[in-house]
Amino acid sequence: MRTSALLCAILTTLSPGLADAQSDDGPRTREAEEAVAAARAGGTILLCRHALTSRFSEREPIDYSDVASQRRLSPAGEEQSRQIGRALRDQGILIQEVVSSPMDRAIRTAALMVGAPRIDSIWHTNDGNYDGPAREHRRRALSVSVPAGNRLIVSHISTMKSVVPEVDGRVSEGDCVVLRPEGEGHDVIGIVPAQAWSREASGYHRPGPSMAEIIASLASAGQRWRGAPVVEVAPG
């Protein structure tokens, strides 16, 4: 038993990555990798909590038109949003639809990540009734298929939790959960912490064209060349 413990300690010292793989972060890292890979393939919904905010005490009900009464993104939150957007683009993760709650911090997060969002009030619960009629609308929204690319929705933790309980205690500001709509519901693929998008982007290399694509491109170029007009040049 002592020999086994000593060997484990030596391996941990020499291979810190081994310790990381055996830590609690291992499954979470794999979960994020699988979720990012699914987003690359398309057809998913990225349901994200707004980015980092400044400390501010809000009172409900909130006047959406009065931005000064709302908790807003901090400078770090604005940069966090930009970084996530860059990481999405670097990996070729296409966002075809952008949706946001009416809160300024959610709108700003979406705009800095991808672009101006469509505002949908179901993604912010202004009266504290998370089990109200809007909950069923949210459930239906997460079941609608994504015909091309991915759909980005920026919301708030309690509103997210009302339809995706898996985020409870696991999603900080700027984190996302990647879902696959399934007609009558949705499948949770995994949670992606904000910094994981950039980590995955740093090790990602876009695949080059396939052999079939190369052959098709060459064939197309050959056809254009054969169809080009012949220009006769008179001898000088």
How confident is the model at residue 207, as a pLDDT? 59
Options 3.20.20.70, 3.40.50.1240, 3.40.50.300, 3.60.20.10; which CATH number does 27-205 get? 3.40.50.1240
Concatenated DSSP letters of 67-132: GGGS--B-HHHHHHHHHHHHHHHHTT--EEEEEE-SSHHHHHHHHHHTSPPEE-GGGS-SSS-TTS
Task: Classify 170 as helix, strand or coil.
Answer: coil
How confident is the model at residue 23, as a pLDDT? 38
How confident is the model at residue 14, as a pLDDT? 39
Residue spans per domain, the chain: 27-205
Distance CA 173, CA 193 (A): 9
Distance CA 139, CA 154 (A): 15
How confident is the model at residue 56, as a pLDDT? 87
* pLDDT average per 10 residues of sequence, the chain (236 residues): 44 39 63 96 98 89 92 97 97 97 98 98 92 94 97 98 97 98 96 93 65 67 58 51
Distance CA 23, CA 59 (A): 40
How confident is the model at residue 213, as a pLDDT? 58
